[in-house]
Structure 1
Amino acid sequence: MKLKIKDMDIATGGPLVAVMNNKDAMKFDIHHLDRIKIKKGKKVETVVVGIAESSKAMPEGRIGVYEEVVDSLKLKNNDKVSIMLARKPLSIEFIRKKLDGKTLNKNEIDQIVWDIVHNKLSESELTFFVAACYTNLMSIDETIMLTKAIAKHGATLKLGKYPVIDKHSIGGIPGNRTTMVLVPIIAAAGLTMPKTSSRSITSPAGTADAMEVLAKVSFPINKMKEIIMKTNGCIVWGGSLNLAPADDKIITVERTLEIDAESQLLASIMAKKYSASSTHILIDIPIGNGGKVKNKEEALKLKQAFEEVGKRLRKHVRVMITDGKQPIGNGIGPALEARDVLWVLRRDKRRPLDLERKCIAMAAEILKMTGIKDSKSKAMEILESGKAYKKMKEIIKAQNGKIFDPDRIRIGKFELDIKAGKSGVVKGIDNRTIARLARVAGAPADKGAGIYLYKHVNDKIKKGEKLFTIYSESKHKLRFVKEAIKKLPGTIAIK
């Protein structure tokens, strides 16, 4: 069958999709969500088809294609293409196998990951794979195979250096901007630390969002390599590098379903470290409300799993279990977190000491892993002497940035102070509520939006003293924050 192309001018963000008129589909017994092949010249692409019930939505004789298909086949409006039925991907059978609670082998896992990377699975099929791994947990062998498959079907950063340092913090804790302090400390110690970081999806800021306040974060992999060779480190957005692309697609489904299978968490983190050729990896597992790990028992189980996966991948892995009962640092939101980082690096009296202490502990652990003696003293000396700040300036410059002074960082001009209703001691801070208020204020899309905390757990406070200030770049969003606060009492508990 020959049909004319109609460019839908819409991207799916993943699956290859086309739309046919129902009469055209009936002629060839094509049904909703069937696969068809679209052929133009020598190029062929397999897509999932949707059926339009009206000729207004899709006229007879035409086939609507989304941007991913247009790009793949180099199509233009009104191009004539051939249409034929196609088989379902091989991995559908393997996903069904996992749904039945059976163990997958290396080839089956590899095929599933290949199909994910090449957009051969529909959103519902990918969702079934994620759900299957959540309900029928993968064995440690399956997890290793999934890790290697995710890394295999993506770009690899090869530096030819040893050791190559990396770290990962299990998310959910507002602030916690340790990477931006750690990288310059470790790089100033003469070690190599290429850090790929994420943007926020559900939190007020990801590391990439905060670093973007100071410098550019999107680079092709060859430019990233140049920056590392020049400075010993970098802080860039992983999404621009094509490292472990299957993982990004899996994470999108997990976030939609609000699930986090342990096997996929391990494979997700370790695949990216594997792709970056990391040799020494520090994992930070914060325990606390709003975080992914709720108690010490869960944390110890996860610690053991990370160490086992690291051992099997021949990587040096250390795990720190840390306090995540409250935000780390004072700023929450891209600009406020970036300001905290520069205050720590510049030894400013306004620096958040909890963030500094955590960064020193993590840096000491990394230096110790690589055989450096008196690692805590060494980390502290690098920070106190200004070497870490000097290194951060080098990294910012190499990443085309110009902001080195925290007082030049623009914070939202509209603000709202939240004050204590009584005197006492701060007994708790609700991580989820703080994060939600910062997002309502506009973070992370509005870089200057967020929250600045004046008090942490166990701090004394007097009635009328400021607990925190909410910043926004919009009067309207600040109004939404005021409404949200009324519905979210108990953000900070005082006794």
Structure 2
Amino acid sequence: MKLAVKDLDIGTGGPLIAVLHSSDAQRMDLHFEDRVRLSHGKRRVVAILDITSSQGVVRQGVIGLMDELVKELGVRDGQNIEVQLEQKPASLQHIRSKLDGACLSEEQLGEIVYDITRNKLSEIEIAYFVASTYIRGLNADEVAALTKAMVKYGETLDFPPPVMDKHSIGGVPGNRTTMVVVPIVAAAGLTIPKTSSRAITSAAGTADVMEVLARVEVPLPELRHIVKRVGACMVWGGALALAPADDRIIRVESPLSLDAEGQMIASVLAKKRSVGATHVLIDIPVGAGAKVWDMERGERLRGLFEGIGKQLGMEVHVLLTDGAQPIGNGIGSALEARDVLWILLGDERAPADLRKKSIMMAGKLLEMGSAAPLGEGVKLAEELLRSGKAYRKMVEIIDAQGRRASRPEELVLGRQTEEVRAARPGTIRSADNKFIARIARALGSPKDQGAGVYLHVHVGDRVKKGDTLFTLYADSSEKLGHARALLSASPFDVR
């Protein structure tokens, strides 16, 4: 059946959606979420159908197309296209099988990932896939197959080995080890192309923090050139088409905070393999308030990461670290960037915990990449940091990506500040990671780069009544008030 096109001038961000008037749908025996094949000249596209009874959206004889379809078909308002019913993809049957408890083959998982990548599955259908892996789980072979498929249907990078990479499971405020580790490792002559995420529920992601210092949205051809020239990069992975199916899966997972182990492992390892990594260091913070709350789960994840990494041809090493409190003092983009620069410059104000952890992780990567003998990695990392070579490499990376700042004094913090003091004397017994992140977000982080929380104490410190526990930074008094309203309780347990 031929219908006239109406450009709805709305983008979906992925799914290919067409809108039909209910009377036309009834006449063609089409239903909500049916697939329709749209043809214009030699172009053919399969879209997911939405139906409306509003003449204001689309009238009879007209089909409304979202931006993605208009671009795919190369059509304009008023042009006619052919509309036909299309069979639903076979991947939906595979998802049903997983919901029923079946183990999926490499071919079946490949079909699901292909359809996700090509926008052939709706958000609802992807949600069912996510739910099936959350409820039924994925075995090691399924995780490896899912990882391979995510890499196969996306862009990839290829550099001469060894290619180093690292990842933190997250859940700990601060913990900005990447921005110290990458320049140390690159200063030793190893290649480390690092793609990172932006914050979803945290105060800031590595990409948000790096964006204070340099451009992080870098096209793939330019990224290749940067890494070949300076040996490293720190960019936002969302601007690239590396393992794109993973990005759509994460978007579906986020509203329900689903974090199925198999999906998470596949997500991490797919991103690593897509940048050509041969040696990967995984940081799993363990503790109350972290994503991994006990050592038993941490050890299980360690075994899965290392075993599946081996199946994929990567050497993966996992560190189980302290996730019971924030790492570093700054929580928020500019405050965390300042911590990083203080460490790289050897400033006495640098947070000792973040420095120590970063050196330990860099040392392990140096050993994995054979830049240092076994047991000598920490010593070399310390030397590269103390000599200023790591800082100079960081400046190279910043300049290659597009400099915004490279000195602590160039960073702009929130104009509105307030100190929060101890109500009683005692020892800091614990810190609430999620509460601290929530305060920083109330202050405007990560959208407001200068907003956040600066910690003056950590677990184990003794304080007197009236001692400053932390300082709030915001761009407006209104946002400072939002954070103040949360502070009827304290993120620190002082006893």
TM-score normalised per structure 1:
0.98
Separation of aligned partners in 2, 1:184 and 1:228: 12
* Cα shift at 1:484: 2.3
Question: What does residue 320 of structure 1 align with?
Answer: 319
Separation of aligned partners in 1, 2:180 and 2:339: 10
Separation of aligned partners in 1, 2:41 and 2:197: 39
CA contact (8 A) 1:289 1:432 kept: no
Question: What does residue 484 of structure 2 align with?
Answer: 482
Question: What does residue 332 of structure 1 align with?
Answer: 331
Question: What does residue 491 of structure 1 align with?
Answer: 491
* Cα shift at 1:290: 2.5
* Cα shift at 1:402: 3.8
Question: What does residue 231 of structure 2 align with?
Answer: 232
Separation of aligned partners in 2, 1:395 and 1:411: 23
* Cα shift at 1:57: 3.0
Question: What does residue 441 of structure 2 align with?
Answer: 439
Percent identity, please: 49
* Cα shift at 1:233: 0.8
Q: Give the 3 Å change call, closer, same or farther, for CA 78–289 of structure 1 in structure 2.
A: farther
* Cα shift at 1:8: 1.6
CA contact (8 A) 1:419 1:464 kept: yes
Separation of aligned partners in 1, 2:475 and 2:204: 15
Question: What does residue 205 of structure 1 align with?
Answer: 204
Question: What does residue 270 of structure 2 align with?
Answer: 271
* Cα shift at 1:328: 0.6
Equivalent positions of 1:351-362 (< 5 A) are: 351-362=350-361
Equivalent positions of 1:105-124 (< 5 A) are: 105-124=105-124
Separation of aligned partners in 2, 1:79 and 1:417: 63
Question: What does residue 427 of structure 2 align with?
Answer: 425
Separation of aligned partners in 2, 1:171 and 1:113: 25
Separation of aligned partners in 2, 1:157 and 1:64: 38
Deviations 1:70-112 (A, max 9, x none): 1211222222211111110110011111111011111111100
CA contact (8 A) 2:212 2:404 kept: no
Deviations 1:363-389 (A, max 9, x none): 111112223121111110100111110
SS at match of 1:64: strand
Separation of aligned partners in 2, 1:355 and 1:57: 55
CA contact (8 A) 1:37 1:45 kept: yes
Separation of aligned partners in 1, 2:288 and 2:471: 22
* Cα shift at 1:54: 2.2
* Cα shift at 1:446: 0.9
Question: What amino acid maps onto 1:472 in structure 2?
Answer: A
Deviations 1:41-84 (A, max 9, x none): 11111111111122123222221111111121122222221111
Question: What does residue 36 of structure 1 align with?
Answer: 36
Question: What amino acid maps onto 1:413 in structure 2?
Answer: R
Question: What does residue 169 of structure 1 align with?
Answer: 168
Question: What amino acid maps onto 1:193 in structure 2?
Answer: I
**1:247 lines up with 2:246 in the alignment:** yes
Which deviates further from its counterpart, 71-80 or 331-340? 71-80
Separation of aligned partners in 2, 1:126 and 1:402: 38
* Cα shift at 1:130: 0.5
Separation of aligned partners in 2, 1:382 and 1:184: 9
CA contact (8 A) 1:215 1:399 kept: yes
- Matching residue within 408, 411, 436 for 2:410: 408
Equivalent positions of 1:63-462 (< 5 A) are: 63-159=63-159, 161-371=160-370, 372-373=372-373, 374-462=376-464
Separation of aligned partners in 1, 2:417 and 2:64: 48
CA contact (8 A) 1:20 1:51 kept: yes
SS at match of 2:212: coil
SS at match of 2:281: strand
Separation of aligned partners in 2, 1:73 and 1:335: 44
Separation of aligned partners in 1, 2:29 and 2:404: 60
SS at match of 1:213: helix
* Cα shift at 1:475: 2.1
Question: What amino acid maps onto 1:89 in structure 2?
Answer: P
Question: What amino acid maps onto 2:234 in structure 1?
Answer: I
Separation of aligned partners in 2, 1:71 and 1:219: 23
Separation of aligned partners in 2, 1:70 and 1:336: 43
Equivalent positions of 1:53-72 (< 5 A) are: 53-72=53-72
Separation of aligned partners in 2, 1:41 and 1:417: 66
Which deviates further from its counterpart, 373-382 or 353-362? 373-382
Which structure 2 residue ranges, 5 or more long, are not aligned?
none
Which deviates further from its counterpart, 284-293 or 171-180? 284-293
Question: What amino acid maps onto 2:95 in structure 1?
Answer: I
Separation of aligned partners in 2, 1:113 and 1:11: 22
Separation of aligned partners in 1, 2:388 and 2:213: 18
* Cα shift at 1:478: 1.5
Question: What amino acid maps onto 1:67 in structure 2?
Answer: D
Separation of aligned partners in 2, 1:44 and 1:185: 50
CA contact (8 A) 2:164 2:369 kept: no
Aligned residue pairs total 492
SS at match of 1:158: coil
SS at match of 1:19: strand
Separation of aligned partners in 1, 2:9 and 2:462: 57
CA contact (8 A) 1:164 1:191 kept: yes
Deviations 1:248-290 (A, max 9, x none): 1111111122111111111111111111110110000001223
Separation of aligned partners in 2, 1:56 and 1:67: 18
Separation of aligned partners in 2, 1:289 and 1:13: 35
Question: What amino acid maps onto 1:135 in structure 2?
Answer: I
CA contact (8 A) 1:424 1:494 kept: yes
Question: What amino acid maps onto 1:470 in structure 2?
Answer: L
CA RMSD, 1 decimal: 1.0
Separation of aligned partners in 2, 1:75 and 1:330: 54
Separation of aligned partners in 2, 1:334 and 1:463: 30
Which structure 1 residue ranges, 5 or more long, are not aligned?
none
Question: What amino acid maps onto 1:223 in structure 2?
Answer: E
CA contact (8 A) 2:18 2:47 kept: yes
* Cα shift at 1:35: 1.1
CA contact (8 A) 2:421 2:469 kept: yes
Separation of aligned partners in 1, 2:242 and 2:45: 24
* Cα shift at 1:297: 0.4
Question: What amino acid maps onto 2:410 in structure 1?
Answer: R
